[in-house]
Amino acid sequence: MEEDQPATATAFATTRAQQGLDDYQKALWNWVNVYNLDAYLQEVYAYYTGKGIYCIALSRGLNLLTVGFVIGFSTFLLGCVDYSKVHKDGTGQLSDLIISHCVSRISGFSLLLFVCFTIFYVIQIIDFVRGTIRLIDMYKFYTHLLNIPDGDIQTISWAEVVRRIGQIRDQNPATAISSTANALDASALHHSNSPPTASLDAHDIANRIMRQENYLIALFNKDLLDLRVPLPPLLDRFFGGYLNGANTLTRALEWNLRYCLMGHLFDRSGRVRKSLLKEKHPTREIELLKRRFLFMGLVNAIFAPFIVLYLLMYSFFRYFEEYHKNPSSIGGRQYTPYAEWKFREFNELPHLFRRRLNESYPVASEYIDQFPKEKVALVMRFVAFIAGSFAAVLATATLIDPDIFLHFEITPHRTVLFYLGLFGTILAAARGMVPDSHRVFDPEILMREVISQTHYMPTEWKGELHSQKVQTEFGKLFEMRVNIFVQELLSVVLTPFVLWYSLPQNAPAIINFFREFTVHVEGLGYVCSFAVFDFKRHGNVNFGAPTEQQDERLMSNQGKMEKSFLNFKAANPEWNPTDPAGSAYLTRMEHFNQQLGWSPTRLRQQRSQTGVGGRLIRQNTPLFIHPNDTQFLSSVQGGQQPGSTAAANEIKLAEKAAMYDRALQKSVSAARRKPAIAPLTPAKGKEREAEEEDSDEDARKRPEDIEESELGDSYVHGVRTRGPRESDYLEEEEEPQDGGVMGLLAQIYTNQRRAIGQN
């Protein structure tokens, strides 16, 4: 059991005991004397993702210089240049424009800005120095305890780092004793024969690193956060669709959410406050959270002008060269912050999540771009023709007479050089918005590929992956970068209103969620119950979970917990769940993978098939589609396009063979079981015989012919079957009838595990 420890500036206590020790002994001393294991493991992970001491120090140093440059250069442009002395003919020298001792002459609002930014920069310098000292300690930990030199940080896998941390714990039984010792009462400590140790397998480490993030993932998954901007009825009619909903979550609002929620619901050591969980009447906690929202709304309103100015200057310096070099990139897209929180899974570390999203970017962009935009394309072709014509004439004139390039003014003070750059930029931007005329239009296949990476598919998308509706909804999650930038600027002004009016209404639901979905795990402390992968309490039978849970309020939406469990196991192959239900679920996935014939050879062949537009598409079935949608499953298994007669025949024969094989296995299993399990009645035997003779399509139309399933209320060909028995976790389980959503889960779980192993 954990006990909250007093917070200090560092993650471990530094005393004079380290004097006289070599680097290895210092690293071991620091490790043994960890008093806040969460903070320490977060530093270990940050060191890994930062690629070692030199990369981290260089990145932080350059970031510090960037902030200093933005502040200094902005101050110079706004207060040290006398723009009234600029000659209209463009002649003169820079020294004539510079105001001497300009900083001392700054006054009013400019002086206030300068003082605020200077204080901010000094704080950043102090944090940089303190962080560098911590980096040296972490360098010793990796180099001397984990035996990972700094040059190998960029190539070693996180799973291997976790394995070596576990070895250190095994070699040093007293490892991290201070993180658990205070949690034992005097009597327990007196009767204990061995010192307590904190559990440090992959699951425990992920829970410690993501203790707070798991709660945020759950809040977004359960849709408990109202992020809509309150607007009057008249404005809501015109701007409600743009300002309300998912797009209002920006980085600024996300930071405020973290500060308000995590700062109030967790103590300074990063653990859930016990008073929050033990409070009999949560009204006080609800009121405190509301006041926190209101206070941060006031703070954001006060500092909004400074933040907007800094964002404008920083963005101008950062993106101008990028867009000038490649104007078509202005139409590039990226996932919104809201989409990232909806896509992220429990215990999914950031570097694994980024890799999963990065793999989806090419196909997501192709999916969005291939939708018919004929009106836009027609206009852009016209604009490109006009701009290209002007640019061609000016370029030809320049070739004939090079002096025209610099000296001939088309308009006052605007030469050929200026207009060549202008028309060239317009031409590049217009061409970037014209779709490829040779592209094959097949959005459903591309969207399935996106789903296989994002693991996100709302129920209302089922059967409409080809539609404009799905494209529009996905486009709100995969926004244009310029739109996201505009929303970030607007968010600085709108965030106070969200904090004042929208989020306080969610305070009761947030407090109740933390109280209800927080569990205590021995050696780990209080964590989000979804992150524990408790199938008995939170399992969703529609996603194959071995559970009797019927309360949808306790289930994660869209099978988030089941997806997270499989994704985590794929990323950590050596980890084995301690919960029998989790082990049974993994066994079921393996059985489905074997039953449906998804062999490694066949999957490699399917991935190599040419997809839409000549691009190689990974043809494995998406991870989480609706269980009734078997057409694409059949096409993938048969290696044919959806709707192919050959594919349908092949799958029908394959399903027949699998059905006979299952029947044989069931007979053998039944013979080995106790007599308590009743055999098939004559009526059921007739139904089974008739089922074998019917086609798969007829079987789906006859729910009474579907044989029993141990999956509970899972969907088999769209038919809900019976609930599980209490002995499901220990008995040998019957094989469900077909792939459905379970087969899809099994396939992607195996694919991801194999892909991670190859990396």
Q: Which long-range contacts (C-beta less than 8 Å, at least 24 apart) are formed by 143-150?
A: 143/23, 143/27, 144/23, 144/24, 144/27, 144/28, 145/24, 145/27, 145/28, 145/31, 150/52, 150/53, 150/54
- 646 and 724 housed in the same domain: yes
Angstrom distances, CA of residue 147 to CA of 41, 156, 165, 684: 17, 12, 11, 62
User: Rounded distance, CA 641 to CA 621, Å?
Assistant: 13
pLDDT of residue 615 exceeding 80? no
pLDDT of residue 484 exceeding 50? yes
Choice between 230 and 249, residue whose per-residue pLDDT is larger? 249
**Is residue 284 one of the residues assigned to a domain?**
no
**Is residue 263 one of the residues assigned to a domain?**
no
Q: What's the chain's average pLDDT?
A: 74
Identify whether the C-beta of residue 480 lies closer than 8 Å to the C-beta of residue 331. yes
CB atoms within 10 A of CB 632: 17
Lowest-confidence region among 270-284, 457-471, 606-620: 606-620
- 479 and 563 housed in the same domain: no
Please state the rounded mean pLDDT for residues 357-378.
86
- 723 and 581 housed in the same domain: yes
- 477 and 570 housed in the same domain: no
Q: What is the pLDDT of residue 258?
A: 94
DSSP assignments along 591-635, one per residue: HHHHHTT--HHHHHHHHTSB-GGG-B---SPPSS--TT--HHHHH
pLDDT of residue 205 exceeding 50? yes
pLDDT of residue 697 exceeding 50? no
- Count of all residues that appear for the chain in the document: 759
pLDDT of residue 226 exceeding 70? yes
Choice between 653 and 237, residue whose per-residue pLDDT is larger? 237
Please state the rounded mean pLDDT for residues 660-686.
42
Q: Give per-residue pLDDT as tens, 598-613.
A: 444 343 344 444 444 4
Please state the rounded mean pLDDT for residues 216-223.
95
> What φ, ψ does residue 333 adopt, rounded to 5°?
-120, 160
Q: What is the pLDDT of residue 193?
A: 43
Closest residue by Cα to residue 588 from 725, 736, 757: 736
**Is residue 239 one of the residues assigned to a domain?**
no
- 62 and 118 housed in the same domain: yes
Buried b / exposed e over 398-413, threshold 16 CB at 10 Å, is: beeeeebbeeeeeeee
> Quick one: tokens of 148?
């990972």
Choice between 759 and 30, residue whose per-residue pLDDT is larger? 30
Q: What is the pLDDT of residue 503?
A: 93
- 478 and 556 housed in the same domain: no
Lowest-confidence region among 2-6, 65-69, 75-79, 633-637: 633-637
Task: Find where tokens 């001497």 sit.
Answer: 100
Closest residue by Cα to residue 369 from 299, 281, 275, 471: 471
Please state the rounded mean pLDDT for residues 172-197.
45
Q: Give per-residue pLDDT as tens, 717-742.
A: 333 333 334 444 333 333 333 444 55
Q: How confident is the model at residue 394 (pLDDT cuts 50, 70, 90)?
A: confident
Q: How confident is the model at residue 29 (pLDDT cuts 50, 70, 90)?
A: confident
Q: Give residue 752's domain range.
A: 533-667+699-759
DSSP assignments along 432-488, one per residue: HTSPPTT----HHHHHHHHHHHH----GGGTT-TTSHHHHHHHHHHEEEHHHHHHHH
DSSP assignments along 561-590, one per residue: HHHHHHHHHHH-TT---SSHHHHHHHHHHH
Choice between 385 and 591, residue whose per-residue pLDDT is larger? 385
Q: Which of residues 200, 223, 241 is at a domain's end?
A: 200
Please state the rounded mean pLDDT for residues 362-388.
86
The DSSP H or E segment spanning 759 is: none
Share of the chain above pLDDT 90, in %: 30
- 585 and 482 housed in the same domain: no
Q: Give per-residue pLDDT as tens, 328-354.
A: 666 789 999 999 999 999 999 999 999
Query: 479 has which bridge partners?
Result: 334
**Is residue 164 one of the residues assigned to a domain?**
yes
Please state the rounded mean pLDDT for residues 205-220.
96
- 466 and 593 housed in the same domain: no
Identify whether the C-beta of residue 85 lies closer than 8 Å to the C-beta of residue 92. yes
Q: How confident is the model at residue 265 (pLDDT cuts 50, 70, 90)?
A: very high
Count of domains for the chain: 3
User: Rounded distance, CA 323 to CA 346, Å?
Assistant: 36
pLDDT of residue 660 exceeding 70? no
Most trustworthy range by pLDDT among 178-187, 226-235, 490-499: 490-499
Q: What is the pLDDT of residue 43?
A: 95
pLDDT of residue 239 exceeding 70? no
**Is residue 425 one of the residues assigned to a domain?**
yes
- 191 and 116 housed in the same domain: yes
pLDDT of residue 104 exceeding 70? yes
Share of the chain above pLDDT 70, in %: 67
**Is residue 135 one of the residues assigned to a domain?**
yes
**Is residue 264 one of the residues assigned to a domain?**
no
Closest residue by Cα to residue 530 from 494, 554, 498: 554
> What φ, ψ does residue 714 adopt, rounded to 5°?
-90, 165
Identify whether the C-beta of residue 677 lies closer than 8 Å to the C-beta of residue 670. yes
Q: What is the pLDDT of residue 672?
A: 45
Q: Which of residues 471, 487, 503 is at a domain's end?
A: 487
Choice between 74 and 757, residue whose per-residue pLDDT is larger? 74
pLDDT of residue 692 exceeding 50? no
**Is residue 439 one of the residues assigned to a domain?**
yes
- 95 and 192 housed in the same domain: yes
Angstrom distances, CA of residue 1 to CA of 57, 188, 708: 36, 12, 43
Q: How confident is the model at residue 356 (pLDDT cuts 50, 70, 90)?
A: very high
DSSP assignments along 669-692, one per residue: HHHHS-TTSPPPPHHHHHHHHHHH
Please state the rounded mean pLDDT for residues 5-15.
45
User: Rounded distance, CA 174 to CA 194, Å?
Assistant: 9
- 145 and 6 housed in the same domain: yes
pLDDT of residue 84 exceeding 70? yes
Q: Which of residues 487, 521, 543 is at a domain's end?
A: 487
Q: How confident is the model at residue 419 (pLDDT cuts 50, 70, 90)?
A: confident
Q: What is the pLDDT of residue 327?
A: 64
Q: Give the type of residue at 320.
A: F
Q: What is the pLDDT of residue 408?
A: 79
Q: Give per-residue pLDDT as tens, 113-145.
A: 778 888 888 999 999 999 998 999 999 999 999
Most trustworthy range by pLDDT among 412-416, 666-670, 696-700, 708-712: 412-416
Choice between 477 and 751, residue whose per-residue pLDDT is larger? 477
Query: 366 has which bridge partners?
Result: none
Buried b / exposed e over 92-120, threshold 16 CB at 10 Å, is: eeeeeeeeeeeeeebeeeeeebbeebeee
pLDDT of residue 642 exceeding 80? no
- 10 and 132 housed in the same domain: yes
pLDDT of residue 76 exceeding 70? yes
Q: Give per-residue pLDDT as tens, 421-451.
A: 888 888 888 887 777 766 667 888 999 999 9
Identify whether the C-beta of residue 195 lies closer than 8 Å to the C-beta of residue 180. no
Q: Give the type of residue at 13.
A: A
